[in-house]
Amino acid sequence: MSSYDLIVVGAGIIGASCAHEASVAGLRVAIVEPGPIGGGATACSMGHLVAMDDDPAELALARYSLRRWETYAGLAAAEFSRCGTLWVARNDSELASIAPRIARLSASGGTAHAVDAQTLYQLEPTLAPGLAGGMLVADEAVVYPPRVAQHLVQCAQQRGARLYAGRFVRRLGRASASLDDGSLLSGPLLLATGGALPRLLPQLPMRPRKGHLLITERYPGVLRHQVLELGYADSAHGTADSSVAFNVQPRPTGQILIGSSREFDVEDRAVSPAMLQRMLRRAFQFLPVLQQLQGLRAWTGLRPATPDGRPYLGAVADHPDLWVAAGHEGLGVTTALGSARLLIDLLLGHTPAIDPAPYAPTRALA
């Protein structure tokens, strides 16, 4: 039996961040990952570092995490690109929602400003005509999440963490985990397995939320900012069985990443031509130039969604030495670093920088 101060199960962006923070704190860490580092939902994501202001708890975690992301602005492996986020309004009604959003972002420590229609088209000349204006959050960025996860795991290993690559947890014990090869690991457990959490911890509800993305060939200069419709949150936080929203991203390579779609309880990872077409039609309405570009590849991923949309971060009631960090839906990359710091602070008995109560797993068991 091998003993550790913390056994991190899962090495996506959340698990990798937690392992890194634990190693920085001087803990003896084991990392158990059956597949490639950052190869699950992390590899399928857009990597947009964005503060969503619809839920105060979500905003607090995002802002806390975005400050920590600044550490990686100069890391080549992160492919950090400060393209900014441009939210576009179709009409006066959506335009009227901008001032309250700016106020919420400002109160949380963020900076955003409204842009009129003329400025909107100066920022992104290829947008569809007739849009009313928008909101620019200039300091937001994009990263390449799998590389960041790999970097964080490597940093943890340099501090002595042991990676159990290609292994999965067959059974949880009391402060122990049995692996598929018969190995037994002893120590507090942190489950960072995303949508696979119910396999080990079925009492915490989690639903898969399938999403499609498509990436184009290289077209440098076509797009400058990550551009989303102001109604994006209606899709991201809605309860409809399926939805699409306009969300496009310029990659540092010159390629354009096009999203986004959401489907509840669809675990088939195959690309759905009907859903892909629906998503692209939405994108073409806002950015007609996309119709002239050559698509290179489409893929899907499964976002881990909790019933209330907030992640589980903290100890599991009535399970000594069992912790969980999972259920971030579409904001796992943005909130990974903040989630990890918050959780390791809780584990060590330190007072976290933000209130942990909204993310406590106990809320799902009440």
CATH topology of domain 83-139+207-305: D-Amino Acid Oxidase; Chain A, domain 2 (3.30.9)
Task: Give me the pLDDT at residue 233, please.
Answer: 83
Q: From CA 56, how far away is CA 309, in angstroms rounded?
A: 12
Half-sphere exposure of 1 (CA within 13 A, CB side): 11
Terminal CA-to-CA distance of the chain, rounded, Å?
Answer: 35
Report CA-CA distances (Å) from 19 to 12, 49, 130, 241, 359.
10, 21, 48, 34, 19
| pTM of the shown model | 0.96
CB of 18 within 8 A of CB of 325?
Answer: yes
Q: What is the pLDDT at residue 299?
A: 97
Which pLDDT value is given to residue 148? 97
Q: Give the CA diameter of the chain.
A: 66
Neighbour tally for 173: CB within 10 Å: 12
Give Cα separations from 214 to 80, 147, 193, 244, 366 (angstroms). Answer: 20, 19, 25, 13, 40
Strands 141-142 and 48-49: antiparallel
Q: Which of 250, 300, 307 is nearest to 275 (CA)?
A: 300
Cβ atoms within 10 Å, residue 348 = 13
In which order are the strands placed within the sheet that holds 2-3? Answer: 2-3, 184-186, 176-179, 169-173
List the chain domain ranges. Answer: 2-45+145-205+308-364, 83-139+207-305
Asked whether this chain's domains 2-45+145-205+308-364 and 83-139+207-305 adopt the same fold, the reply is no
pLDDT of residue 239: 78
The beta strands (E) that lie in 85-126 are given as 85-89, 113-116
For position 267, what pLDDT does the model report? Answer: 84
**DSSP code at position 251:** -
Q: Is 266 helix (H, G, I), strand (E, B) or coil?
A: coil
Name the CATH superfamily, with its identifier, for domain 2-45+145-205+308-364: FAD/NAD(P)-binding domain (3.50.50.60)
Residue 360: closest CA among 342, 341, 333 = 342
CA distances (Å), origin 239, targets 208, 214, 236:
13, 24, 9
Q: Which pLDDT does position 283 carry in this prediction?
A: 98
pLDDT attached to residue 237: 75
Report the half-sphere exposure of 295 (CA within 13 A, side-chain side). 12
pLDDT digits (tens, 9 = 90+) for 243-282: 999 999 999 999 999 999 999 988 889 999 999 999 999 9
- pLDDT by residue, tens only, the chain of 366 residues: 799 999 999 999 999 999 999 999 999 999 999 999 999 999 999 999 999 999 999 999 999 999 999 999 999 989 999 999 999 999 999 999 999 999 999 999 999 999 999 999 999 999 999 999 999 999 999 999 999 999 999 999 999 999 999 999 999 999 999 999 999 999 999 999 999 999 999 999 999 999 999 999 999 999 999 999 999 988 777 778 999 999 999 999 999 999 999 999 888 899 999 999 999 999 999 999 999 999 999 999 999 999 999 999 999 988 889 999 999 999 999 999 999 999 999 999 999 999 999 999 999 876
Confidence (pLDDT) at 23? 98
